[in-house]
Chains A and B, each alone.
Chain A
Amino acid sequence: MKIILQVRRMNKLPSSFRDSDGFLYQEDDTLYRCINQSYSANYEMLISSGLYDDLVKKGLLISHVETNKSKPGGYKIIEPKKLNFISYPYEWSFSQLRDAALLTLQIQKRALDKGQSLKDASAYNIQFTKGKAIFIDTLSFEVYEEGKPWVAYKQFCQHFLAPLALASHVDIRCLHLLRSYIDGIPLDLAATLLPGKTKFNFSLLTHIHLHAHAQIKYAGKAKKQTGKGRVSKMGMLGLIDHLTTAIKKLKWQPKGTEWGNYYSFTNYSETGFETKKSLVQSFIKKIKPATFWDIGANDGTFSKLAANKGIETLAFDIDPIAVEKNYLRNKESDNLDMLPLLMDFTNPSTNLGWAQEERSGLKERGKTGCLMALALIHHISISNNVPLGSVAKFFCTLSNYLIIEFVPKEDSQVQKLLTTRKDIFPNYHKEGFEQSFSEFYEIVEQHHIAETLRTLYLMKAKV
Chain B
Amino acid sequence: MIITVKYYFCCMSKNIEFIKPLLFIASILCLVPKVSAYLDPGSGSYIIQMVIAGFLGGLYAVKLYWYRIVGFFKRSPRVDENNSAGQKDE
Chain A interface (Cβ < 8 Å from any Cβ of B): 18-21, 99, 102-103, 105-106, 109-110, 113, 119-120, 132-133, 147-155, 157, 199, 202, 205-206, 210-211, 213-223, 225-232, 234-242, 244, 248
State which size class the interface on B falls in. Answer: 35 or more
Majority DSSP secondary structure for residues of B touching A: helix
- If A232-B54, A235-B56 touch, does A106 touch B86 (CB 8 Å cutoff)? yes
- If A231-B53, A238-B56 touch, does A21 touch B38 (CB 8 Å cutoff)? yes
Q: Which listed residue, B31, B47, B48, B81, touches A228 by the CB 8 Å rule?
A: B31
Q: How far is the CB of B33 from chain A (nearest CB, A)?
A: 5
Q: Which listed residue, B49, B59, B63, touches A149 by the CB 8 Å rule?
A: B49
Chain B interface (Cβ < 8 Å from any Cβ of A): 3, 7, 10-11, 16, 18-19, 29-35, 37-39, 41-50, 52-61, 63, 81-82, 84-87, 89-90
Q: Which listed residue, B37, B47, B86, touches A151 by the CB 8 Å rule?
A: B37
Which residues of A are found within 8 Å of B31, using beta-carbon distances? 222, 225-229
Q: Which listed residue, B11, B47, B56, B87, touches A103 by the CB 8 Å rule?
A: B87
Cβ-Cβ contact count across A and B, 8 Å cutoff: 171
Which residues of A are found within 8 Å of B61, using beta-carbon distances? 234, 238
Closest 10 A-B residue pairs measured CB to CB? A227-B31, A238-B56, A235-B53, A235-B57, A238-B60, A222-B43, A214-B44, A215-B44, A154-B45, A238-B57
Q: How far is the CB of A99 from chain B (nearest CB, A)?
A: 6
Judge whether B49 and A239 touch: CB under 8 Å: yes
Task: Report the bound CA distance from A2 to B46 in whole Å.
Answer: 40
Which residues of A are found within 8 Å of B86, using beta-carbon distances? 102, 106
Chosen A-B contacts, 10 in total, with CB atoms closer than 8 Å, are: A19-B38, A151-B37, A153-B41, A153-B45, A205-B16, A210-B48, A222-B47, A226-B31, A229-B31, A234-B58
Judge whether B46 and A102 touch: CB under 8 Å: no
Which residues of A are found within 8 Å of B32, using beta-carbon distances? 222-223, 225-227, 229
Judge whether B60 and A222 touch: CB under 8 Å: no
Q: Which listed residue, B19, B33, B42, B60, touches A154 by the CB 8 Å rule?
A: B42
- If A21-B38, A235-B56, A241-B84 touch, does A214 touch B29 (CB 8 Å cutoff)? no
